[in-house]
A and B are shown apart, each in its own frame.
Chain A
C-alpha cells in the first residue's frame, strides 16, 4: 500500500501557504507522496503497453490454472480456485467457472471482477439474441461478442483470459478470448486451451495424455490430473478443483474436490498399479493375494 496524503495544506508542497488556515482541504483527491503522481501511477501500474522499462511494474498476472478440451463426449472444463494478491493467498474457493447460461460456460483467469462482470454482460447479450431471433446463440457468436467488447476496451487495463464453451448446432465448441481482443477457435488439430500461470504444467499433461476418443470418465480423470500437476508446481494455483462437462443438452458440474485429496487418490492409484505390475511377474496365487491387499 502506498502512503497517501490528503491535500490539506500540511505537506511540503503547501509550505508557501503556511499563512492560511491549516486543516482546510484545498483539493478532493488523495495523492501518493511523490512529486508527480500521474507518472508514478503510469510507471508502476501500466499493465498493457509493453514498454521496455517495466521491471517494477505491478503485473496483474493471471495467477491461476484453467483448462478446457474438446473430445468425443463434448467439452471438459477443469479449473483451480486460488486467488492471489502477490504472495498472499486471498481466497482458496473462488468459482472460476462462470455459468453464463444453461448451455454456455466461461472460465476466469486474470482480474476476477473483470471476468465476472464481462461474462455476466455476455449473458445479457446472449439472452437478448435468443429473444430477438428465437433461437440460441452459437458459441462462435457469443465468443465474438465478448471479444469485440474486450477489443473496445483495449488499453484500458482490463485483465481477462477466458475460455467460452458450449454445445450448439455445430456441435461442441471451444473458444479462447482475452483482453487484447484475441479470439482463438479450438479446432481438431488443437482441441484444447489452458490459461494462467499454471497452464504450462497443464499443457504438459494434456499434450502427453490427450486422446479424442476418451470416455467421460477418462476425460474427467485427465482434467483432474492436469489440474493436480499444475497446482502441485505452481504457487499461484491450488485450492479446489472444479470440473464441468459440456453435453448436448447443457453443462453439468461433475466434480469438486480439494487438490490435496487428488494427490492422495493418485498416490493410491499408482500404488495399486505398481502392486499389480509386480505381482504379474510372480505366481498367480501369490498375485491374487498381493492384489487384494494393495
Chain B
C-alpha cells in the first residue's frame, strides 16, 4: 500500500528484535559508567577516554545535568545521547511549568525510556544506541538511581554499570555493595570499580556527587587521585607483603 511506513525494527522469527540487540552491542562499546546509591547521596563515575592530542578534553562531557537535582551518565553513541539529553532537559522544565514541582527521578526515567521505546516500534528510524544511568533525588529527598536501555525498559537500581566491561563491574559492585555505605565509602567503591578496567588510573576517572538540595558536585582530580592511592594501598595491605608495612606507617 502506498504511504505505508514499514518500521526498520521488525521481529525476527524467534521473537527477538535484532536491531535493539545490535543497539545494545553499540552500548557495550561505549566507555564505562558506574553509579552507586548511598544512604543519602549518589555517586556517578565515568571512564574518561583519553582525548586525542589536539583535542580539548573539557568539551568531552559524559556526565550531563538535566536539572538542578538530576544528572545522568550514558554509554554508547555520543550524538544519540545529546539528542535524548536535550529532550529530557526540555521536559524537566515543562514539568516544572505544568505541575509546579520538580519532576521525580522515576518520571524522567519513564519519559526517556518512552522515547527510546518509540524508536523501536514506529517511524522507520533506528533505536537510540544509548544506555543511561539517571541519578537524582525525589522532591522528598530520597536518592534514586535508574537505568534505561535501547529497548526502552527502565528499572531502579542500588548500584549499576553500563558500557565497557559492565558485567565485570556489576559483579565487582555486587560483591562489595553495602546499603549503609556513607558518601566516602561510595566514592571509594566507585573508584575501585573503575580502576579495575581503566588504562591510566585516576586520570581516567570522573566523579560527580549528587546530594539532596544542592547541585551536583564534580570531584577534583586530586581527591580522586588520593582515593585511588588509598584504595591501592588497601588492596596491597589485604594482599600482605612490604607494601603493607609501607601502608601501616602512613
- Name A's B-contacting residues (CB within 8 A): 132-133, 138, 140-141, 144-145, 148
Contact = CB atoms under 8 A, between A and B. Distances in A.
B22 interface: no
A144 B99 CA distance: 7
Interface in B108-133: 110
Nearest to A134: B106
Contact of A140 (B100, B104, B110): B100
14 contacts: A133-B104, A133-B107, A138-B99, A138-B100, A138-B101, A140-B99, A140-B100, A141-B98, A141-B99, A141-B100, A144-B98, A144-B99, A144-B100, A148-B98
Contacts of B107: 133
Nearest to B110: A132
Interface in B61-111: 98-101, 104, 107, 110
Nearest to B107: A133
Contacts of B110: 132
A145 B100 CA distance: 11
Given A140-B100, A148-B98, 11 more contacts: A132-B110, A138-B100, A138-B101, A140-B99, A140-B101, A141-B98, A141-B100, A141-B101, A144-B98, A144-B100, A145-B98
Nearest to B100: A140
Interface of B: 98-101, 104, 107, 110
A115 to B, nearest CB: 22
Contacts of A145: 98
A148 B107 CA distance: 21
B113 to A, nearest CB: 13
Closest 5 CB pairs of A and B: A141-B99, A140-B100, A144-B98, A144-B100, A141-B100
A148 B97 CA distance: 11
Nearest to B97: A144
B144 to A, nearest CB: 14
A239 to B, nearest CB: 36
A268 B32 CA distance: 81
Contacts of B99: 138, 140-141, 144
Give the most central of A133, A140, A145: most B CB within 10 Å: A133
Nearest to B98: A144
B208 to A, nearest CB: 27
A179 B120 CA distance: 41
Nearest to B106: A133
Contacts of B100: 138, 140-141, 144
Contacts of A141: 98-101
A148 B99 CA distance: 11
B33 to A, nearest CB: 27
A248 B99 CA distance: 21
Contacts of A138: 99-101
A136 to B, nearest CB: 12
Nearest to A140: B100
Nearest to B99: A141
A216 B65 CA distance: 48
Contacts of A144: 98-100
A140 B101 CA distance: 9
Contacts of B101: 138, 140-141
Contacts of B104: 133
A290 B104 CA distance: 66
A51 B98 CA distance: 32
A124 to B, nearest CB: 16
